[in-house]
Copies of this chain bind each other. A is one copy, B any other.
Amino acid sequence: MKLSTKGRYGVKAMFDLALNSDEDPIPLKDIASRQEISESYLEQLISGLRKAGLVKSVRGAQGGYLLAKSPDKITVGEVIRTLEGPMAPSECVVEDTQACEKSDYCVTRLVWKKMKDSVNEVMDSITLQDMVDEYSSINKEK
């Protein structure tokens, strides 16, 4: 049940964008080096985030990436689901998937459903802004 690097790096990158955002776009190179992620790999991931409408890009020199919405409007859940797909422990609880023919009376399915709902609820309750706030409150104590 480990998350793959896609989800983990994706959240880190988005957090980095939220933390370092001003007006100017942030080049991928900066994010990659700050977060210690391979730049060319991160490129793939951020491409997905862009297609999902979570970040905007500015091409050419002095270009880079920006959050497409304000950090309090972007949840960890959106980021992770974009990169990892639906957080379903089993195929049979992926939305808009044909559940198996036993699903009406399948008890294990109810278990997977509860797990899925629980994870999504937590993920969707955390915004990038929450992470930024938490970061500030940890670091002001120094």
Distance in angstroms between the alpha carbons of A49 and B8 in the assembled complex: 30
Interface residues on A, range: 35 or more
User: Contacts A119-B119, A122-B118, A123-B115; is A110 near B90 (CB within 8 Å)?
Assistant: no
Copies in the complex: 2
Q: Say whether B138 contacts A90, CB under 8 Å.
A: no
B residues less than 8 Å from A108 (CB atoms): 8, 11-12, 15, 131
Query: Which one of A21-29, A50-58, A59-67, A81-89 is at the B interface?
Result: A81-89
Those of A1-23 within 8 Å (CB) of chain B: 1-3, 7-8, 11-12, 15
B residues less than 8 Å from A122 (CB atoms): 114-115, 118
Does A31 reach chain B (CB closer than 8 Å)?
A: no
**Interface flags, A73-117, vs B, CB<8A=1, else 0:** 000100010001001111100000000000001011011101100
